[in-house]
Structure 1
Amino acid sequence: MIESKISLRKATVEDAEKLFEIQRKVFEPLYEKYEDHETTPVNQTFERFKERLKTGDYFKITLENLLVGSVHVYPKSPGVMRFHMINILDEFQGKGIAQQVMMRLEGLHPEANRWELDTIQEEKRNCYLYEKMGYVQTDEKWKVNDKMTIVHYVKTTRLNHMPCL
C-alpha cells in the first residue's frame, strides 16, 4: 500500500532551497497555462518562501525516502486549520499521495473543527480530490484573470452540538 511508504517530516531552513525548487516545478505548468503573473508561487521570492517555513507547519513529503513534495498547514483561528499549499511533483501526482497527506494532517489536528483551502476552479482534478475528501466549495471566489478563478473550500470535521435543555 502506498500510504505506508509516505512520510511527513517537518521542514527546516536547511530544506528551503530544495522545497522552493519543488514549488517552482509544480507551479510552472500552471503559470504557463493560466498566465497568472500576480499571484503565482513561481514568482515568489526565496526570502518570502523562507518566511513561510516559520508559519504553522511546513512538511516535506517523501515516498520511499524520495522527496516528492511539500505541504504547508497553519492555524487560521482557534479551531480552524488551513491547507495553504500542497505541492506534489507531476510524476507522483494521481497516486493518492495528496489524499494520504491531507488525512494524516487532519488527524494530527483533532482540535480543528474546520479546515479550509483554496484551489484553481479550472483544475478539475484538484476540485474532485477535495470534494471526495469532504470539502465543500463555498461562494467565495476570486477571479485572477480571464483564464483562472480561485475557489474556497471548507470541511467541517465535527459537529458542534448544542446542549439539550
Structure 2
Amino acid sequence: MSPMVFFKKAVPANAEQLTQIATRCFAEDVQKYGEGPAGHDQPDQHILFMQKAHYYTILLDDQIVGGFCLIPVDHEHLELGIIYVDPDKQNLRIGSQTMQFMEAAYPHIKKWTLDTGYEAVRNQHFYEKCGYKKVGETEPNATNGFYKFRYEKRIPK
C-alpha cells in the first residue's frame, strides 16, 4: 500500500529545505552535465517560483520530501517546471500520487507539458505511464551536449 502523501502550497519559509532536497535530487545531473534545472540550488529562485507559479511541497508524515512547480501557459495549459522527491523517499509511489493530485487540483487544465533529460530513462518511463507522450526534443547544449525530451498530455474536453 502506498504511503499517504499530502500537498501544501510552498511558502518562503520552505525555500531552504526545498533547495536542499532539490540539490540532492539533481546532484547526478550537475556532476554529469555541469548543471541541473535552472535555480534548483538557489533558495531565492525557489521563492521566485512561489511568487510567479503554483509551487507545492510534497509531504510524507508531515515532513517535506519534495516539491513541484506548475507554470501557467494559458487558462487551459500548465507546464510542469520541476518535480522532485528526496532520493531516500523514491519508489514509494509519491510521484504517482503527485501527478494524480495535479490533475485533480486543476480539472480545467486540458494540456499538460513537461521536459526531461534525454538520458533520464526512468523519468521517461514514469511520464509515459502517467499518460504523457513524447512530442519533441530541445536542441543540444553546445557545451555539454545535454538536451531534453518534450512531453505532452491532453485531457479530453
TM over 0.5: yes
CA distance in 1, matches of 2:9, 2:50: 9
CA distance in 1, matches of 2:45, 2:100: 27
Amino acid at match of 2:20: E
- CA deviation string 1:37-59 (max 9, x = no partner): 4x644775432232111122111
Other-structure match for 1:129: 126
Give 1:107 shift.
Answer: 1.1
- Which 5+ residue runs of structure 1 have no aligned equivalent? 160-165
Total equivalences in the alignment: 156
- CA deviation string 1:15-52 (max 9, x = no partner): 1111111111111122112x234x64477543223211
- Which 5+ residue runs of structure 2 have no aligned equivalent? none
Matched, 1:91 2:88: yes
CA distance in 2, matches of 1:42, 1:88: 16
Other-structure match for 1:103: 100
Other-structure match for 2:15: 16
Other-structure match for 2:62: 65
Higher CA-based Rg: 1
CA distance in 2, matches of 1:47, 1:95: 29
SS in 2 for 1:134: coil
Other-structure match for 1:157: 155
Matched, 1:143 2:143: no
Does the aligned pair in 2 maintain the 1:7–1:62 contact within 8 Å? yes
Amino acid at match of 1:96: R
CA distance in 1, matches of 2:150, 2:41: 21
Other-structure match for 2:79: 82
SS in 1 for 2:23: helix
- CA deviation string 1:79-132 (max 9, x = no partner): 101111001111111221111101111111111110000111101000000011
Give 1:74 shift.
Answer: 2.4
Other-structure match for 1:2: 2
Does the aligned pair in 2 maintain the 1:31–1:42 contact within 8 Å? no
Does the aligned pair in 1 maintain the 2:15–2:44 contact within 8 Å? no
Amino acid at match of 1:25: R
Identity across matched positions, percent: 24
